[in-house]
Every structure is written in C-alpha cells, then in structure tokens.
Amino acid sequence: MPASHNPKQNQLLAALPAADYERLLPHLEPVTLPLGLVVFESGSKLRHLYFPASGIVSLLYAMEDGASTEIAVIGNEGVVGIALFMGGESTPSRAVVQSAGHGYRLKAAVLKTEFELGGPLQHLLLRYTPALIAQMTQTAVCNRHHAVDQQLCRRLLLSLDRLPSNKLTMTQELIANMLGVRREGVTEAAGNLQEAGLIRYSRGHITVLDRPKLEAQVCECYAVVKREMDRLLPDKTAC
Amino acid sequence: MPASHNPKQNQLLAALPAADYERLLPHLEPVTLPLGLVVFESGSKLRHLYFPASGIVSLLYAMEDGASTEIAVIGNEGVVGIALFMGGESTPSRAVVQSAGHGYRLKAAVLKTEFELGGPLQHLLLRYTPALIAQMTQTAVCNRHHAVDQQLCRRLLLSLDRLPSNKLTMTQELIANMLGVRREGVTEAAGNLQEAGLIRYSRGHITVLDRPKLEAQVCECYAVVKREMDRLLPDKTAC
DNA sequence: CTCCAACCGTACGTTGACGCACAGAGCGTC
DNA sequence: GACGCTCTGTGCGTCAACGTACGGTTGGAG
C-alpha cells in the first residue's frame, strides 16, 4: 500500500492504540471517493461507516422542492455515517463527496461488534459526535443570522482546513447549493473577495491568496466549530 | 412520591427494563424546572444529565452580539446534556427551561458508570441522539428556506407535542428569540394564524384551536423530525 | 382605583436575497 | 479554429424580513 494510501491519514484511525488499530485493519476496505459520489442516500439503509483519508464529504439535506442545504462537512478528522453506531440505520440527510479523495470503510456488522466492545474506538467515535453536532448547530445559527458573504468565507475555510493545498475545486453553482442560496449571490460574494485580493477565482478553481484576511472576515461561527473540533479531537485524545 | 411525580413520565426512563430502572432509581434526583431556569450555561461544565418528566427545555445558541437561535426542543421524550455521555464535558449551546415542569437528573459520574456498562441505558441514549440531531439539522434547513409564518407553526407544534394541553405559555418576544427573528415578525405571523382561526392569542397565552389546520400549514421540517422521533423511540424500543 | 410594566399591534423606510433573463468568457472537442 | 457547453458576470423588479419608533391594551401591584 503506497504511503499516499494509509488508513492513518484519517485522524480517528490514527488516534487508535496499536492493538485496536491492528484488529480493525483487516476489515478496513479502501474506497475511492470521486467527486459527486453519493456515499449514502437520504433515508436509505447505511451499510458502512466511512473514514475519509483525503477529500471531503458533505452532509446535505434536500427538500421536497429540490432546494438543498449543507448540514456539515467531514474530512479526515471524522467519519461519515454516525447514525450507524448509534443504532439508527438511516438518516434523513444525504452524504455526497464534495472534493475527491479516498478513504476506508467498515461494514456495519463489524463496526457494531467493535463498538460494543466499549473500547477506544467507541470512545473516539462518541467524542467526535459532539464536535459534529457543534458544526450542525452552528450551521443553523449562521443560516439565520449571517450574510452570504460571511457564509462564503466560512465555507471556504471549512474546505481549506480539510485539504492539503490552498486550491479548492468548486463552482459557484455548487457552493450555492451547499449554502442554500442563489448562484448569483455567490457570484457577488466571491467577486467581493476577489476584489479584496483574498482569493482568485476561475471557472471552478479557487485559490486562496490570503487566509489570515479570510479568517478576519468570517463570522464567529467558524471559530466556535473549530474550537470544538480541536477540543474533542486533540492528538492526545485519551482513550 | 405522588403519581404526578414519577420518573417513568420520561419516555426514555420508562423504556428501561425493570432491573436497569431499579438500579438507576436511587440515583435519580427529582428537580423542578421553573420557567427560565438555565439548566446549563454555554461552555460550562456539565454536572448532570437531565430527564424531563414534564415541561420543555430549549437548546439555544447565543451569539456574541446577543442574538440567539433555538437549536432543539426537548421534552419528556429525551434528555438534556447528551454531550455528557459522549465524553464532552460542555457544549457551546445553552439549555433553558421554556415551559415549566419537573424532571430528574443523574450525576455525571453515575451516568458515566452506567453508560459504560453498555446495556439498555446506553442503547436508549444513543438511539435518542440521531433523533435529536435530526431536529437540529432540520432547524438549519428551516432557518434557511422557510418563512416566519411556517416556522411559527412548526414551533407551536413542537411545544404542543410535549405538553398535555392545547394551551401554551409563551410571549411573542420569547418566540422571536427562539426563532431568531424580530418580535414584530412573530406578531404578524401570529396575527395571521389568529385571523384564520387556528389559534387564540392573549398576552403570553396561546390556545391552539385547530391543530389539524396547523399541521396542514406547517413546512415539511416538522414531519421529518417527528418521523425520526417516532422511528427511534417507539414503545417497542428493543434493548 | 390608579398606575405601571409588560405585552401586543401598526407603520414606514431600508435592505439583503430572490427570481428571471441574458450577455460574455473560458475550455474542450471534433 | 469554430462550435458548444459550462461557468461567471450583470441588471433588473419584487419581496420578505429588518430596524426603528410609537400608540394601545391588559393585568397585576400597591
């Protein structure tokens, strides 16, 4: 297995003690996560728990009228499909690969068995959950109170945190769907950022030129979520 | 203990097998939940897990500028402080009693011990979590896409589901804080509902006159959440 | 009974986002 | 190297919600 494909690229897997990791390893099935892949559909039965190693997965909720909103963003710091180990077998939201990459997955049955052991894996997964919840609640707050410009900043930073480079691949149309706003609204907000020299934009390719300024402009929502993530998933995660 | 004060009024406690319930009983400390009580403050250490038996607790997030948004509503179907059994010791949100009642609480240490046993209590709490998450995500969606009128309907139904009568006690000011909108916006929306004969409103007292019509007018968000609650917390919850 | 505080209703200008419509601009393809 | 598709920019009119300001009503306290 090449160095670029190592389960330990996922921070939760990396935080497992050696013994637990070794036991899990044979069950970790490598998967590629091409852009647009639907990891699981709204309401359908969950068959695997996914550990992204690279790339980004979005949790989306699509309404009856077709409009959608992104609920959370998951990269190599987390897992996709938390309902699985909580005894739910499906969720009303949908998981879509929003930035291509790869990862590993665990069969539902294996996960369940391992989880029931009550060891480090259980603790890690449980500890991750409130961090994810923080992200969801902050999404709700941001949707209510903040302007599109700020939400765009937040969204860019969320992706940036989960990618190795300062280049993002996402069209304005895509961003609009994630934020649940008009495409034109994103055009305008992105134009402002470009004007101010924070990003460069071109046909689906965004280069972040000045991250500090981006952080200066984003709403508090970003920091709140990041703090929770850092707090609950430190290197020193004691299990 | 009078019949009106029974831990089994909380649906999660009621769903516990007799043996587990009996073991827990000595540790369940009765608490009254007066209107406005802050069950726990944003960022502070959680000391107890609360099981509401009557009344309603709101999970709120307050922003730096003082504006706030309600994230979720918890009645006797759930528990307040889920971060506790997931290994978090605090949350960025705040829990406030929004309709007076009473309940029971469990010390953090006791909860932790019981949870680690991996028995029915653990399963029940874990199963409740995705239902709560569904409520949070749907709040995010609703905030983004739906008009104040519909959100008011949703909010009224959420309270109605958790109270024995069709009378709610909440001022428009309070509702506005929960929905994160202007008080005047609530005045208008409530006026519409009153006009249509669905509710009667008077100085902090709302009487729901026609629940079916209210349900006909509410956005899909309400049904989505209710379905998740019913699915994950049926009477027959097998543990 | 009177007064006061809390609660509710209304009004008006402002604004941010929407819906729609269309014009340019880059990139791949044949 | 021209065509076509996708992506981005712009320009309207419309509208829901906002901020602000004030008047009216009600219920309880003294």
Q: Is the CB of A194 under 7 A from strand D?
A: yes
Q: What are residue A210's phi and psi, to 5 degrees?
A: -140, 85
Do residues B91 and B115 both lie within one domain? yes
Do residues A93 and A44 both lie within one domain? yes
pLDDT by residue (tens digit) across B104-158? Answer: 999 999 999 999 998 999 999 999 999 999 999 999 999 999 999 999 999 999 9
In the block, residue with structure tokens 């050696």: A18
CB contact under 8 A, B129 and A129: yes
Q: What are residue A148's phi and psi, to 5 degrees?
A: -55, -40
Do residues A13 and A61 both lie within one domain? yes
According to the model, what pLDDT value does residue B5 have? 79
Do residues B129 and B154 both lie within one domain? no
Do residues B70 and B171 both lie within one domain? no
How many beta carbons lie within 10 A of that of residue B120, not counting itself?
Answer: 19
Do residues B172 and B185 both lie within one domain? yes
Residue A238 inside a domain? The answer is no
Has residue A15 got a pLDDT over 80? Answer: yes
According to the model, what pLDDT value does residue B1 have? 46
Using CA coordinates, name the residue in chain B closest to A68.
B141
The answer to whether residues A28 and A106 touch, using CB atoms and an 8 Å cutoff, is: yes
Nucleotide in closest CA–C1' contact with A203: D7
Residue A92 inside a domain? The answer is yes
Boundary-marking domain end, from A104, A121, A138: A121
How many angstroms is C1' of C15 away from CA of B143? 19
Residue A178 inside a domain? The answer is yes
Distance CA A179, CA A184 (A): 12
According to the model, what pLDDT value does residue A238 have? 43
Boundary-marking domain end, from A121, A156, A181: A121
What is the three-class DSSP state of B167? Answer: strand
Boundary-marking domain end, from B109, B142, B175: B142
Q: What percent of chain B has pLDDT over 70?
A: 96
Count of structural domains within chain A: 2
Smallest Cα–C1' distance to nucleotide C7: which residue has it?
Answer: B203
Has residue A29 got a pLDDT over 60? Answer: yes
Do residues A47 and A112 both lie within one domain? yes
Residue A44 inside a domain? The answer is yes
The answer to whether residues A186 and A193 touch, using CB atoms and an 8 Å cutoff, is: no
Smallest Cα–C1' distance to nucleotide C11: which residue has it?
Answer: B184
Do residues B67 and B91 both lie within one domain? yes
How many angstroms is C1' of C12 away from CA of B3? 55
Do residues B117 and B24 both lie within one domain? yes
Using CA coordinates, name the residue in chain A closest to B66.
A145
In the block, residue with structure tokens 């919850």: B237
Residue A1 inside a domain? The answer is no
Cα three-residue angle B128-B161-A85, rounded to 5 degrees = 10
Residue A163 inside a domain? The answer is yes
How many beta carbons lie within 10 A of that of residue B32, not counting itself?
Answer: 12
pLDDT by residue (tens digit) across A82-112? Answer: 999 998 888 999 999 999 999 999 999 999 9
According to the model, what pLDDT value does residue A182 have? 95
What is the three-class DSSP state of B59? Answer: strand
User: Which strand (E) or helix (H) includes residue A187?
Assistant: helix A183-195
According to the model, what pLDDT value does residue B147 have? 95
Residue B163 inside a domain? The answer is yes
Do residues B128 and B16 both lie within one domain? yes
CB contact under 8 A, B133 and A136: yes
Do residues A12 and A115 both lie within one domain? yes
How many angstroms is C1' of C9 away from CA of B100? 28
Residue A135 inside a domain? The answer is no
pLDDT by residue (tens digit) across A147-160? Answer: 999 999 999 999 99
Do residues A90 and A170 both lie within one domain? no
According to the model, what pLDDT value does residue A234 have? 65
pLDDT by residue (tens digit) across A209-239? Answer: 999 999 999 999 999 999 999 988 766 444 4
pLDDT by residue (tens digit) across A45-82? Answer: 999 999 999 999 999 999 988 889 999 999 999 999 99
How sure is the predictor about B100, in pLDDT bands with cuts at 50, 70 and 90? very high
Q: Which residues of A touch B134 (CB under 8 A)?
A: 91-92
Burial label for A236, CB within 10 Å (0-12, 13-18, 19+), is: exposed
Domain that includes residue B165, residue range: 147-218
The answer to whether residues A137 and B71 touch, using CB atoms and an 8 Å cutoff, is: yes
Q: Which residues of A touch B116 (CB under 8 A)?
A: 118
Assessment of whether the complete model's pTM goes beyond 0.85: yes
The chain-wide mean pLDDT, for chain B, equals: 92
